[in-house]
Amino acid sequence: MNDTLRRLLSSLLLCLCTLTAAAQTRTVRQRIAHLLREKHATVGVAVLTDDGVRIRCNDRRRYPLMSVFKLHVALALLDRMEREQISLDSLIRIEASQLLPDTYSPLRDRYGCREITLPLRELLRYSLSLSDNNACDILIGLAGGIDSVSGYLRRIGARGFALSQTEEDMHRDIRNSYKNRSRPSATVLLLHRALEGSLLRPDHRDFLRDCLIATSTGPDKLKGMLPEGTVIAHKTGSSDRTAQGVKIADNDVGMILLPDGRRCFVAVLIKDSQQSDAENAALIARIARIVYDGLNGRESVPPPPSRRK
């Protein structure tokens, strides 16, 4: 085979791959858009792969992040630790007054409301893997405050977000939950930069990934319909309901490892839902499976039978 023919075949193969990828992307977008019709909620979706596939649905809005913002807090703190040469093993004294009652806190449940000392890596694990609200606010303080977290994001060029509230702020007034918000594409891009880019040192990047893989919350969300054994590093978020029964937010953002080794980053942010928590979770899981199957060139598995009457 001469060089001219080899180049021609290579060009044809590249064109074929490009057309196939474009068709897969279009199909995934159409299936997601069809799924979102007539839902009693506002749902934003963003997908990004490490080979450049981008999918967006309802991405112009900013959605309440809830505990997804613990990822942003962790990144800001890890950045400060790198600049000031602070080790993950550094011990942090936690006052009893920082372990607030009446908020989700496995940390407080384990140690009680008393003074304790823990290494930074454990606080980060509590905040990221277990979504501990008290641990998150302690980390916000160590990062310099919520304004410093927001400033870090602006400094690295992050766009499409607003952060101004701690977990205590949101617990004190449920309306504050709307103030920490982001476009789905902004969140998925930040996660991609955190796990695949140069925002963090390799050891901190690996630590962050391990914490997100160990996430115990939301097993029925992004990972709910994925094949058993699929590796997913994700961060969930969930709000209380208003007096009218409206769920302010139900979210999951994560990196899914595809069978061919590609990494797929998916954000599903649900706002002002009148659906049940189970329905929200099933919707997130269904979107993740559509993306997973679509990017692998497969027909997506059918949804489970509806239990709604």
**Residue 58's CB: how many other CB atoms inside 10 A?**
18
> Per residue of the chain (309 residues), what is the pLDDT tens digit?
566 655 555 544 444 344 345 667 888 999 999 999 989 999 999 999 987 779 999 999 999 999 999 999 999 999 999 999 999 999 999 999 999 999 999 999 999 999 999 999 999 999 999 999 999 999 999 999 999 999 999 999 999 999 999 999 999 999 999 999 999 999 999 999 999 999 999 999 999 999 999 999 999 999 999 999 999 999 999 999 999 999 999 999 999 999 999 999 999 999 999 999 999 999 999 999 999 999 987 655 545 444 433
Dihedral sign computed on CA atoms, order 224, 229, 234, 239: positive
In this structure, the strands spanning 232-238 and 181-182 are unpaired
> What angle do the packed helices 133-142 and 69-83 form, to 10 degrees?
40
Identify the three-state secondary structure at position 172: helix
pLDDT value at residue 6? 58
Q: What is each CA distance from 57 to 111, 270, 285, in whole angstroms?
A: 43, 12, 16
pLDDT value at residue 15? 41
67: annotated active-site residue: yes
pLDDT value at residue 22? 65
Identify the three-state secondary structure at position 158: coil
- Sketch the domain layout of the chain as residue ranges: 37-295
**Residue 160's CB: how many other CB atoms inside 10 A?**
16
Give the separation between CA 146 and CA 140, rounded to whole angstroms. Answer: 6
Can you read off the two tokens belonging to residue 56? Answer: 């967006």
Catalytic residue among 10, 67, 150, 276: 67
Q: For residue 120, how far is the Cα from the chain centroid?
A: 21
Q: Residues 188, 233: contact at Cβ < 8 Å?
A: no
Can you read off the two tokens belonging to residue 124? Answer: 């980060």
Give the separation between CA 194 and CA 216, rounded to whole angstroms. Answer: 20
* Domain 37-295 coded CATH 3.20.180.10: no
Whether pTM > 0.85 for this model: the answer is yes
